[in-house]
Every structure is written in structure tokens, then in C-alpha cells.
Chains A and B, each alone.
Chain A
Amino acid sequence: MSSVIVRVKQKQIMDLIAKGKRLDGRGLTDYREIKVEQGLIERAEGSARVLLGKTEIMAGTKIEIGKPFSDTPNEGVLTVNAELVPLASPTFEPGPPKEDSIELARVVDRGIRESKALDFKKLCIKPGKKVFVIFVDVYVLNHDGNLIDASALAALAALLNTKMFNYEIEEDEVKIKPGYTPLPVGKHPIAVTFAKINDKLIVDPWLEEEQTMDARLTMTIDDDSNVCAIQKGGSGYFTPKQVLEAAKTAMEKAEENRKKLKW
């Protein structure tokens, strides 16, 4: 994957970061420009498109009525899936999901689930029998690095945009009534991803920085500055000091992004 050009740039990226600078002119903890649009797909119950620099993610939600899990009979179900669409990068191949897309989906899922962003109890129709099943499908449309943060934003924006159909129960049957209510989304978990390059931590790595990094660390932070999900990736390591530093920075950055997006 790392072509000659990338190898040459890797050295440049590393040298710059040692001086506290980045190839695209950002500071070490600066995000790229974030744009969020909601409600672009009429057929979906909710949708959103997120641009993080040139990384582009579309997320759509669909709602079905299904059975709850046996260990949580009065809670709705959330299913997050991520698709690395082949048109988004020469390195994405069609076929069944591979570990990268599974990890992406599970990290996004963990952020929403563990922060209790969704009130699952309100998604229950008949305990043990019928609940709302929320599908969030994350579609990567252009890969320019940091898919996790962009996907987490897109998934949350799509959930905030999701309309749940009204219903009533008539003789054990669920009848759909006209009108919609918004999905009960109470928290706004924000994922902040770090890359370790030249023993320094940088925020929001773009593609070439990801190709240079030793390791990756994602921390998802809720509205009250609690950590609610973490995932380390890549074949490098972090020192315990770096981990705690990252947590502090993640809390600041999450707050900043939440303000920017008015969430």
C-alpha cells in the first residue's frame, strides 16, 4: 500500500510533527473543517452527511418492529453497520465485511450505546414481544483518514434526524398512526481520534498521517465530559502518560466540536 511517494511523504510528515507542525498546516490538536447536513435521504427515517476535510460519510437510519433480546426484554435494539464502499478508496474491495469495517461499526456502536445516547426503554412497544429496532448504516463515500470520528458524527446526526412513526396497540396488533415523533436521543457522544507519530499525539489524522502512524487511539466523550468508549488500534503502543494526556485532550476537543455543531 505504501507507495514510494507515500514513503517520501512519511519522512516529511514525521519531521514536521517533531517540530509541532503538520503537512496541511494544522496544529497538532486541530480538527479539519467539519460540515454536517441532515435529512438528505427522504426514504430513510433519518439521514446525515458529514464532511471532515475530504473524508465523507453518509449515514442513514431505518426503523423496524422486531423482537427484543431475551436479556433486555423492555429495551429497543440498536444495530450499527459500516460499509467501506469500494468507490471511496482504491484500497476498499467489494465483498463481505472485513475486520476494518467491523471494527469501525463496533466503535461507533459502542459510543452511542455506552453513553446512553438513546433511551432504549422508550423504544419498547410490548415488553418481551415487540420493540423498535433501529438500524444505523454508515456509508463511507470518500476515505481521507479518521473514518471513526466522521462516522460517529454521521451516525449521531442521523439519529438526531430520525423520525419514529406513531403507533397504537389494538388487540395485540401494532397500528401505525399518522405523524411522527423524534427519536429519544438524550446524549451527544463525540469520538476523538489520535494518531501517534514520532512519539507525539496528533488529533484527527488524515489519510497520509494514518499511513505514517504507529498506533491509533479513539476516545468517545459524552456531554458531561465522561469517557464512554475507547479503542486502540494499529500495531504500535502508547505510554500510560500518553493515554491520560489523550483523555484530557479528548474532553476538550469533544466539547469544542459539540459547541461548533450546537449539540
Chain B
Amino acid sequence: MRYRVTVTLREGILDPQGKAVKGALENLGFEGVDRVRVGKVIDLTLSEGDLETVHEICKKLLVNPVIEDYQIETLEE
């Protein structure tokens, strides 16, 4: 199975990258961009295990719960 994990900074945690990107967009003349948050995407292909395994992987390594949240999406084979 293939899974896509999206890791983002938790609400309330300052995102310096997002802030810089927002500033750049303003400089480029894009108006009305109220907020930018930068995260990362990690694609996993599993030959064993299921969604529960992916949660375990997230909690153990991919995500730092002090600063980050995550979402898992199941991808088409």
C-alpha cells in the first residue's frame, strides 16, 4: 500500500519559512495571501502493515509532536 504523510507545524507554532514565503509573495504583488504554512510530504510504500503501522511510523520517527501535526492519505496503487 502507498501512503502520503503530510507533516505541518502545529497551530500556534511560529513558522519562519511560511513567514518568509508570505513576505516574498507580497513583494511579488500577490495580494490577499493571509497566511502561508510550509510543511513536508513523505510518501511511503509498504509491503507489510496497514494504516495503523503508518501512524506508528509517524509517532516514532516522522513527526515531532512538540511542534508538528500530521495527516495520512492512502494513495492509489
The yes or no verdict on A and B being binding partners is: no
